[in-house]
Structure 1
Amino acid sequence: MHDLVDATSVLAETYDDIFDIKFSPTMFSIMAATTPSSRCIIALQLSPQFFNAYLCHQLHYKFIYIESFYDFMHNFERKGFSSLTFTFPEPDRVDSNVALRVMSEACINVYSCTIPWRFLAATAILKFFDGSNGHFEEVELPMFPSSKVMDVGAFDFGTFVSIDSQEFINIVTCFNDFDYVLVTLTNSQVIFSYGKTKIILTQERRQCIIGGVAASVEVVFVISLQPMTIFCNLARRLRRVWLFKSSDSTRGVIAAPLGLYARYLAYFSDRIETTSKDL
């Protein structure tokens, strides 16, 4: 559970308490806009292999209040609880009434009750376990229908630049006062710029790793690095940060892997306003 608590803490630093969550058979995602303008969507994506057990039969979009979700996990971890199950019933896979089993704390007596579906449709059950003594506690997390507008778009995995996380922090700090940063990528270097301010990293000096860019080709896209605290705290948890170009626009994608089965993604929407000479 610690890894999930730590990863979620970065998302809890965004301006808004409302987060979208996306359940699918192949991925669990928590997403939020980093600023009121929604220029950037940051997501924590977790593959099924991240969990001890993961079961989802169809796509679901919900929104939750992240402060409640994070506080539950953080507080129970401090009490010594080491694992968590997150469950909610799927409407088309249950009857109109859902049967629940409620166990006594001593796990001796088992009772059954039936609760109408309408009372459970927007409620997830978080069950926290203390591995040292077998004790568990349950809390309810309200979930609400989502409009599905907050989602990370497609991007080109074949064209990328990868930089050391400390170098990325230096870039974030340098461009903190600007609304956006122009990224110009060739097969030998990457340029981060806004007006006269520039940072150039080259493969020759081993300052970056570039892939998928042919000779004499330039790949240009835009990112935003605000708010600075989120991107710096994100980078401090990583060894490297990867930048890609969005498949359907001139905006970029920042990918930050957390091992094999988890990653942060920052996706930049067309709401970023640039001057015509930039792109």
Structure 2
Amino acid sequence: MLMFSLENVDPLLDALYILSRCAENTIIQCSPSMVSIIVLHHELDLNVSFQMMPQFFSHFASNKTHSSKTLIQPLYNTLKRMKESQITSFSFFLLPPLDHLVLKFYSPRNESPLIRKFGKVNAAKENLRNIDFETFVSIDSLQFRRIIKKCRDYFVSVTPRHSDVKFSNEVRDFIFPKEKDEKWVLIKLVWLADVMMLQGAGECIAEGKTEFLIPTYPFHVFNNIGFQSKRVWLFKSVDKLGTFIIAPVGLFAQFAIYYPVP
């Protein structure tokens, strides 16, 4: 069984617009605990996804894992046209016997619903559980956008120190003091993992060495994500081979970006 509905389309529409700037195709991946819209950037080895908890939806029921592939721009255009026509209520469900994912729009004028069907593909690899939650940096999204703008098209090294964190590249340095409430904010992100050790969560970054390398390209993607979230979080992968950039959107959704170390 898989079925979920959404009344407010705006957060999803904003996310689809951002993801459409990365790639032509997207994978819609559903599980009992999350719905993810995933794209792989057409030039960079950059995995970008918008992940939604069950509480994000007005109705959610799922007891299986499913993946469907579609062109993202037509999906965005469809949702946008429906909103402009004041049709903002819709649902996803599986159509037996082939388990195609179906998008169904409901008109407030009791007209026949509009239905869009997606093809089925093999499950996409999900990197979320490979996050090392013991190594992280958190930054205000306004400052994050400032770094993205000033260091446009460059890589940025992130170095935690005793009382501050340095973001730097060949041209510029940005120094930000550490915030005392990082541990409390991290607890709000507990849903990111099935099991998460919170003890000492705000004190476990090794100081004085570069812990992260983050891209600032594509600029429009990172800049727009910064507008959708109040804070941006940087995590290392468990194998230390990549960086996760997490940008929560409200309490029940987030952008998750994975970039492997070049």
Aligned match of 1:93: none
- Are residues 1:253 and 2:244 paired? yes
Equivalent residue pairs, number: 236
Partner Cα distance (2:113, 2:242) in 1: 44
After superposition, what is the alpha-carbon deviation per residue over 1:148-178, rounded to whole angstroms, capped at 9, x for unaligned? 3464452123432222211111111122132
Aligned match of 1:23: 30
User: SS at 2:60's partner residue?
Assistant: coil
Q: Identity rate of aligned residues, in percent?
A: 28
Question: In terms of Rg, which structure is larger?
Answer: 1
User: SS at 2:70's partner residue?
Assistant: strand
* 1:258, distance to aligned residue in structure 2 (A): 0.7
Aligned match of 2:120: 144
- Kindly indicate whether the alpha-carbon contact (under 8 Å) linking 1:62 and 1:143 is maintained by their aligned counterparts in 2: yes
* 1:266, distance to aligned residue in structure 2 (A): 1.0
In structure 2, which of residues 32, 36, 43 is the aligned counterpart of residue 36 of structure 1?
43
- Kindly indicate whether the alpha-carbon contact (under 8 Å) linking 1:187 and 1:213 is maintained by their aligned counterparts in 2: no
After superposition, what is the alpha-carbon deviation per residue over 1:218-237, rounded to whole angstroms, capped at 9, x for unaligned? 46122212100111011112
The residue type paired with residue 262 of structure 1 is A
In structure 2, which of residues 11, 14, 17 is the aligned counterpart of residue 6 of structure 1?
14
Runs of 5+ unmatched residues, structure 1: 90-97, 99-116, 274-279
Kindly indicate which of the two structures has a greater share of residues assigned to helix: 2
User: SS at 1:55's partner residue?
Assistant: strand
The residue type paired with residue 106 of structure 2 is F
Runs of 5+ unmatched residues, structure 2: 1-8, 184-201
- Kindly indicate whether the alpha-carbon contact (under 8 Å) linking 1:20 and 1:150 is maintained by their aligned counterparts in 2: no
User: SS at 2:103's partner residue?
Assistant: strand
| Equivalent residue runs for 1:122-201 within 5 Å | 123-131=100-108, 133-146=109-122, 148-149=124-125, 151-152=127-128, 154-178=130-154, 180-195=155-170, 197-201=172-176
User: SS at 2:62's partner residue?
Assistant: coil
* 1:196, distance to aligned residue in structure 2 (A): 5.1
- Are residues 1:72 and 2:48 paired? no
Q: TM-score, normalised by structure 2?
A: 0.80
* 1:128, distance to aligned residue in structure 2 (A): 1.1
In structure 2, relative to structure 1, the CA distance for the partners of 1:224 and 1:148 (3 Å cut) is: same
Question: RMSD between aligned alpha carbons?
Answer: 2.5
Partner Cα distance (1:227, 1:140) in 2: 30
* 1:61, distance to aligned residue in structure 2 (A): 2.8
Q: TM-score, normalised by structure 1?
A: 0.75
* 1:83, distance to aligned residue in structure 2 (A): 0.8
Aligned match of 1:269: 260
Partner Cα distance (1:216, 1:241) in 2: 20
In structure 2, relative to structure 1, the CA distance for the partners of 1:216 and 1:76 (3 Å cut) is: closer
- Kindly indicate whether the alpha-carbon contact (under 8 Å) linking 1:63 and 1:146 is maintained by their aligned counterparts in 2: no
The residue type paired with residue 69 of structure 2 is F
User: SS at 1:260's partner residue?
Assistant: coil
The residue type paired with residue 84 of structure 2 is R
User: SS at 1:76's partner residue?
Assistant: helix
After superposition, what is the alpha-carbon deviation per residue over 1:182-203, rounded to whole angstroms, capped at 9, x for unaligned? 2112342212222353222122
In structure 2, relative to structure 1, the CA distance for the partners of 1:177 and 1:7 (3 Å cut) is: closer
Partner Cα distance (1:37, 1:185) in 2: 26
Aligned match of 1:112: none
Bigger mean CA deviation after superposition, 160-169 or 72-81: 160-169
- Are residues 1:233 and 2:224 paired? yes
Partner Cα distance (2:110, 2:87) in 1: 10
